[in-house]
Amino acid sequence: MLSLKSCAAGSETLLAIWREFEEGKLAHAYLFTGESGVGKRTFARTLAKALLCNGEGHKPCNACRSCQRFEAGTHGNVYFPAPQSQKTTISIVEMRNLIAELGRSALEGGRRVIVFNQAEKLSQPVQNSLLKTLEEAGEGVYFLLVTDNERAILPTIRSRCRTVRVPLWSDERVARELMNRGQSAANAKELASIAEGSMGKAVQMIHDDSWREERALVRDAFLNVKSVQDIPACSQLLKNKKEQAETLFSILEREMRRLIMKKKTDAAYTGDFFPEHWKKADVKSLMRIQDSILRCKRYKASNIGWTANAEGLMQSIAEEATKWQL
């Protein structure tokens, strides 16, 4: 288990919060935002634990009674509001009960910390009910809101919090952390290049190898298209893959973006994802294909037929690929 400083290591954004903690200058409410898997929830949880820690040295010490109770889920001064039913978010009644609880004396004295994970799921009425409490939070009461979608948080809530936008990790940092977790250098580098700055995503891919099959499917079904004659056979590979549409388009978009950046900087493409004939593609051609990919993602959201959508993208690729081979 990490100290707050160790948890923030590698991120200047989070190290700034650690310094505020060390100097006793924390705000009473924080909104941690950023992409999924960048460490927002882990940092917020560690900050909550550090605020309640009674040990010496770097906090949390992970050894004092407060830290032990925190880990056991029995600490009376930390709250992780969650719905009490099968609903996906807490109700306004549950929020009002929490607010009433905060109005009473702390069970164990000292600070109290409220951590809202997935704060974007809080309904507008629930967020509105929290406004006054955020504005008039008592001494030693801290609110930590965590979200992947900052725009889902009401402006009135955001204005009462200090917003901390946690950045994506660099590929080098992801790979280094993966090697620390026992991955080979080659596997760590490959996973990092696919994770797009999300350490959480990289860890998930360690335990779920389906991403290899998805990447292979994208390569075989889309990137092997050289002419319109290839479309029927390639389209057949996507039969019954409608549920994977978003993932497949995202993989293709990410790799296309990476290839475009390589071409723009005149850097040699060293990966093996794109077949040989793609090396002849120019930037303008690749950007037209990227536009087609983005258009397909929009069509997917508007329920355009999966097969027609995929074949439309193959048509665009075939038109460009034909030019490269002239």
Q: Return the CATH number at 25.
A: 3.40.50.300
227 and 294 inside one domain: yes
Read off the DSSP letter of residue 224: T
100 and 118 inside one domain: yes
Q: According to the model, what pLDDT value does residue 117 have?
A: 92
Token pair for residue 233? 């056979």
Q: According to the model, what pLDDT value does residue 250 have?
A: 86
In whole angstroms, give the CA distance from residue 106 to residue 76: 8
Choose one of 208, 230, 259: the last residue of a domain. 208
Q: Is 78 helix (H, G, I), strand (E, B) or coil?
A: strand
137 and 42 inside one domain: yes
Q: According to the model, what pLDDT value does residue 101 have?
A: 83
In whole angstroms, give the CA distance from residue 298 to residue 319: 21
152 and 298 inside one domain: no
Q: According to the model, what pLDDT value does residue 319 have?
A: 94
260 and 270 inside one domain: yes
* 84-141 pLDDT tens trace: 666 677 888 888 888 888 877 656 668 999 999 999 989 899 999 999 889 887 888 9
- Residues of the chain with pLDDT below 70 are 84-87, 105-109, 267-271, 300-304, 326
85 and 157 inside one domain: yes
Q: According to the model, what pLDDT value does residue 90 have?
A: 84
Element (H, E) at 254: helix 245-264
Q: According to the model, what pLDDT value does residue 106 have?
A: 59
Number of domains in the chain: 3
Report the percentage of the chain scoring pLDDT > 90: 55
262 and 306 inside one domain: yes
Range of the domain at 196: 170-208
Q: According to the model, what pLDDT value does residue 138 have?
A: 80
Q: According to the model, what pLDDT value does residue 112 have?
A: 93
Token pair for residue 308? 């027609």
Q: According to the model, what pLDDT value does residue 231 have?
A: 95
What order of strands is seen across the sheet that includes strand 112-116? 78-79, 112-116, 141-147, 29-33, 162-165
16 and 89 inside one domain: yes
Which amino acid appears at position 324 of this protein? Answer: W
